[in-house]
C-alpha cells in the first residue's frame, strides 16, 4: 500500500498566507515564512505555494517570498503562480522550489508542460487545475483560470488527460465548489480523475474534519490531500494538528508517514 501524503497549501498575497471560500473573501493568516516553519515543525509531508494573484495581475511570481519559505522547510516544496516560461521555472527552482506548478498559463499554452518536463523532468512538473461542476462539458466539470474567475469551456477530465500526456508528473485537482467550505472533498470528481490518470493525484478543496481524509483515501486512489483549512483556517472553531490527523488516519487503516 502506497503511503499517502498530507500537504499544506499556501495561497499567497504580498508574502502572506491567506484563506478563502471558493476563491473569495481572502482572510489574512500569517507571514508565509512563519507558517512554513510551523508546518515543517509539525511534520507536514509537503508544502505547496501559490502566488494566487500573479496570473490575474499579469506579473511575475513573488520570488523573494519563495526564497523566504524555501529557507524554512526541508520537505518537497512546490511553487506556482505567474510562471510563464522555462526561465521563470529555472528562477523558481533556483529560489528553492523542488517542483513547479502550472495552471492558467498551461491552459493558454499547453506546451509549457512539455517544455518543463523535457528540461527538468516530469517529476518536477505539477499541473494544478481549478474546476467547477457546470454541466457544460462531457464530464460535467469545467476548467477555470485566473484565480477561478474565468470559465474556459474545457472539460476537466479531458484537460487532465492531456496534461498527463504532455508530461505532467503529478496532478493537483481542486474543486472550486468545495474549496474552503469544510464540507468534504468532491469524491465524484476525484474518482473520475482516478480512472483517467496514471500519475499521482493530489485532491484539493473541502477538507474540514478527519473523516473527510479517511473517505478520500479509502474510496479513491488519490495519493495526497491538501488540508490547509483544517490546519490554520480562522473560520474553524478548532484547528487540527498534523499529528491529530495522522493518528486518526493510521487508526483507520490509511498508510501515512508517522510523526517523527
Question: What CATH code is carried by the domain that includes residue 95?
Answer: 3.20.20.70
- Within a domain: residue 260? no
Low-confidence ranges of the chain (pLDDT < 50): none
What pLDDT, on a 0 to 100 scale, did the predictor assign at position 251? 97
- Within a domain: residue 161? yes
Question: pTM score > 0.85 for this model?
Answer: yes
- Write out the residue range of the structural domain in which residue 152 sits: 5-251
- Whole-number Cα distances in Å, 62 to 10, 17, 73, 78, 103: 13, 13, 18, 14, 16
Give the model confidence (pLDDT) of 56-72 as tens digits. Answer: 787 889 999 999 999 99
What pLDDT, on a 0 to 100 scale, did the predictor assign at position 60? 86
- Within a domain: residue 133? yes
Among residues 28, 14, 32, the alpha carbon closest in space to that of 68 is found at: 32
- Within a domain: residue 258? no
- Within a domain: residue 257? no
Among residues 42, 57, 74, 44, the alpha carbon closest in space to that of 12 is found at: 57
State the burial class of residue 58 (Cβ atoms within 10 Å of its Cβ: 0-12, 13-18, 19+): exposed
H or E element in which residue 226 lies: strand 224-226
What pLDDT, on a 0 to 100 scale, did the predictor assign at position 200? 97
Structural contact between residues 141 and 173, judged by C-beta atoms closer than 8 angstroms: no
Give the model confidence (pLDDT) of 170-188 as tens digits. Answer: 999 999 999 988 999 999 9
- Within a domain: residue 143? yes
What pLDDT, on a 0 to 100 scale, did the predictor assign at position 95? 97
What pLDDT, on a 0 to 100 scale, did the predictor assign at position 22? 65
What pLDDT, on a 0 to 100 scale, did the predictor assign at position 147? 82
Domain count along the chain: 1
What pLDDT, on a 0 to 100 scale, did the predictor assign at position 1? 64
What pLDDT, on a 0 to 100 scale, did the predictor assign at position 40? 97
Cα-based angle 181, 183, 188 (whole degrees, multiple of 5)? 110
What pLDDT, on a 0 to 100 scale, did the predictor assign at position 21? 72
Q: What is the 3-state secondary structure (H, E, C) of 36-95?
A: HHHHHHCCCCEEEEEECCCCCCCCCCCHHHHHHHHCCCCCCEEEECCCCCHHHHHHHHHC
What pLDDT, on a 0 to 100 scale, did the predictor assign at position 35? 96
Structural contact between residues 57 and 47, judged by C-beta atoms closer than 8 angstroms: no
Number of helical H runs and strand E runs in the chain:
10, 12
- Within a domain: residue 256? no
- Whole-number Cα distances in Å, 28 to 15, 82, 169: 11, 21, 32
Amino acid at each position: 500500500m502506497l503511503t499517502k501524503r498530507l500537504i499544506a497549501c499556501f495561497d499567497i498575497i504580498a508574502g502572506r498566507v491567506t484563506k478563502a471560500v471558493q476563491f473569495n473573501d481572502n482572510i489574512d493568516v500569517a507571514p508565509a515564512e512563519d507558517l512554513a516553519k510551523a508546518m515543517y515543525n509539525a511534520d507536514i509531508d509537503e508544502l505547496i505555494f501559490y502566488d494566487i494573484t500573479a496570473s490575474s495581475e499579469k506579473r511575475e511570481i513573488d520570488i523573494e517570498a519563495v526564497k523566504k519559505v524555501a529557507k524554512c522547510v526541508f520537505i518537497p516544496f512546490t511553487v506556482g503562480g505567474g510562471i510563464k516560461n522555462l526561465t521563470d521555472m529555472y528562477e523558481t527552482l533556483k529560489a528553492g522550489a523542488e517542483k513547479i506548478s502550472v495552471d492558467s498559463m498551461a491552459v493558454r499554452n499547453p506546451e509549457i508542460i512539455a517544455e518543463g518536463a523535457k528540461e527538468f523532468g516530469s517529476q518536477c512538473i505539477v499541473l494544478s487545475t481549478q474546476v467547477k461542476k457546470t454541466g457544460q462539458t462531457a464530464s460535467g466539470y469545467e476548467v477555470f483560470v485566473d484565480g477561478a474567475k474565468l470559465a474556459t469551456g474545457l472539460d476537466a477530465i479531458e484537460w487532465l488527460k492531456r496534461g498527463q500526456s504532455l508530461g505532467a508528473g503529478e496532478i493537483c485537482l481542486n474543486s472550486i465548489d468545495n474549496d474552503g467550505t469544510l464540507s468534504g472533498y468532491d469524491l465524484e470528481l476525484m474518482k473520475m480523475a482516478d480512472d483517467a490518470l496514471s500519475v499521482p493525484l493530489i485532491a484539493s478543496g473541502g477538507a474540514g474534519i478527519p473523516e473527510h481524509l479517511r473517505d478520500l483515501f479509502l474510496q479513491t486512489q488519490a495519493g495526497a490531500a491538501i488540508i490547509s483549512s483544517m490546519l490554520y483556517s480562522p473560520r474553524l472553531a478548532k484547528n487540527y494538528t498534523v499529528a491529530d490527523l495522522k493518528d486518526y488516519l493510521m487508526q483507520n487503516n490509511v498508510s501515512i508517514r508517522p510523526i517523527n
